[in-house]
């Protein structure tokens, strides 16, 4: 895998199209957690899916996260849109080798089933060791896991919006990259 770094696009200067999707999203984001770490998925801005990885995710957390993603991908295919994923791993910890293997296997399976929907995942990483692990995941996944590194959530969301515009998918009008915060969970 090549560690991709997409050029930053200033989408704040572009007109944003309204989303064609009704507000049929969960009131509460999906949270997959263990005592070691968690993954939060916020799909309220579909087809933009925002995720936050904190701590070290376990095999169970990763499997639950991928399982939860399946209906989102099915919805995207049914509605003929691409999904733009932003993963904020600013507070993520190094996953174990077993977790890395599960991520790579599940990414391979998703890429085989939905190659047109998931290119690339925009990852916010500020830790050099975690960036190395993420790069290794791309190698383990035989290139199926395409990642683009961003220094901030704002720049990753802007790039995700630019991607949706470029492929003709609806852009969620309520998503402001400059003010977005992950929803609070109990």
| 37-42/30-33 β-pairing | antiparallel
pLDDT for 12 beyond 70? no
pLDDT in tens, 82-97: 889 999 999 998 888 8
pLDDT, residue 131, reads: 67
Instruction: Note the pLDDT of residue 104.
Output: 83
pLDDT digit string, tens, across residues 135-147: 666 656 565 567 7
Those residues with Cβ within 8 angstroms of residue 159's Cβ, 6 or more apart along the chain or in another chain:
6, 8, 9, 122, 148, 150
On average, the pLDDT of the chain sits at: 78
The residue extents of the domains of the chain are 31-166
**31-166: CATH topology:** Transcription Regulator spoIIAA (3.30.750)
3-state secondary structure the chain: CCCECCCCCCHHHCCCCCCCCCCCCCCCCEEEECCCEEEEEECCCCCEEEEEEEECCCHHHHHHHHHHHHHHHHHHHHCCCCCEEEEEEEEECCCCHHHHHHHHHHHHHHHHHCCCCCCCEEEECCCHHHHHHHHHHHHHCCCCCCEEEECCHHHHHHHHHHHHHHCCCCCCCCCCCCCCCCCCCC
Q: Which residue has the tokens 């998703």?
A: 110
Tokens representing 22 are: 């009704």
Interatomic CA distance for residues 137 and 5, integer angstroms: 16
């Amino acid at each position: 895998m090549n560690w991709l770094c997409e050029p930053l696009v200033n989408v704040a200067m572009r007109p944003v199209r309204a989303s064609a999707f009704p507000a049929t999203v969960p009131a509460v984001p999906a949270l997959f957690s263990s005592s070691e770490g968690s993954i939060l998925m916020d799909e309220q801005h579909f087809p933009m899916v925002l995720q936050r990885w904190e701590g070290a995710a376990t095999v169970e957390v990763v499997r639950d996260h991928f399982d939860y993603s399946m209906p989102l991908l099915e919805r995207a295919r049914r509605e003929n849109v691409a999904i733009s994923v932003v993963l904020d791993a600013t507070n993520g910890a190094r996953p174990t080798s077993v977790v890395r293997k599960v991520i790579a296997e599940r990414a391979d399976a998703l890429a085989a089933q939905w190659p047109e929907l998931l290119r690339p995942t925009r990852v916010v990483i500020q830790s050099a060791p975690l960036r190395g692990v993420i790069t290794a995941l791309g190698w383990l996944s035989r290139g199926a896991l395409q990642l683009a590194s961003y220094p901030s959530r704002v720049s990753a969301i802007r790039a995700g919006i630019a991607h949706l515009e470029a492929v003709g998918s609806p852009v969620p009008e309520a998503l402001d990259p400059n003010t977005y915060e992950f929803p609070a969970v109990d």
